[in-house]
Chains A and B, each alone.
Chain A
Amino acid sequence: DAEITQSPRHKITETGRQVTLACHQTWNHNNMFWYRQDLGHGLRLIHYSYGVHDTNKGEVSDGYSVSRSNTEDLPLTLESAASSQTSVYFCATAGGSGRAPGNEQFFGPGTRLTVL
Chain B
Amino acid sequence: AQSVTQLDSHVSVSEGTPVLLRCNYSSSYSPSLFWYVQHPNKGLQLLLKYTSAATLVKGINGFEAEFKKSETSFHLTKPSAHMSDAAEYFCVVNAGNNRKLIWGLGTSLAVNP
Does B32 contact A102, Cβ atoms closer than 8 Å? yes
Does A99 contact B105, Cβ atoms closer than 8 Å? no
Contacts of A43 in B (CB 8 A): 44, 90, 103
Among A42, A43, A45, A101, find the residue whose CB has the most chain B CB atoms closer than 10 A: A101
Contacts of A41 in B (CB 8 A): 105
The verdict on A109 contacting chain B, using a C-beta distance below 8 Å, is yes
Contacts of B25 in A (CB 8 A): none
Does A102 contact B51, Cβ atoms closer than 8 Å? yes
The verdict on B19 contacting chain A, using a C-beta distance below 8 Å, is no
B37 CB, nearest partner CB in chain A, Å: 11
Does A42 contact B98, Cβ atoms closer than 8 Å? no
B83-106: CB near A (< 8 Å → 1, else 0) gives: 000000010001111111101111
CB contact list, B37-59 vs A, under 8 A: 42-46, 49, 51-52
Does B99 contact A103, Cβ atoms closer than 8 Å? yes
B72 CB, nearest partner CB in chain A, Å: 17
Count CB-based A-B contacts (< 8 Å).
56
B89 CB, nearest partner CB in chain A, Å: 11
Whether A42 touches B90, Cβ cut-off 8 Å, given contacts A101-B32, A107-B44, A109-B43, is: yes
Does A101 contact B103, Cβ atoms closer than 8 Å? no
Majority-rule SS of B interface residues: loop
The verdict on B34 contacting chain A, using a C-beta distance below 8 Å, is yes
Does B105 contact A105, Cβ atoms closer than 8 Å? no
Contacts of A101 in B (CB 8 A): 29, 32, 94-99
Does A45 contact B100, Cβ atoms closer than 8 Å? yes
Does A99 contact B43, Cβ atoms closer than 8 Å? no
Does A107 contact B106, Cβ atoms closer than 8 Å? no
A72-110: CB near B (< 8 Å → 1, else 0) gives: 000000000000000000101010100111111111111
A63 CB, nearest partner CB in chain B, Å: 20
A38-63: CB near B (< 8 Å → 1, else 0) gives: 00111111001010000000100000
B60 CB, nearest partner CB in chain A, Å: 12
Which 8 pairs across A and B sit closest by C-beta, in order of nearness? A102-B32, A107-B44, A102-B51, A42-B105, A43-B103, A42-B103, A109-B43, A99-B97
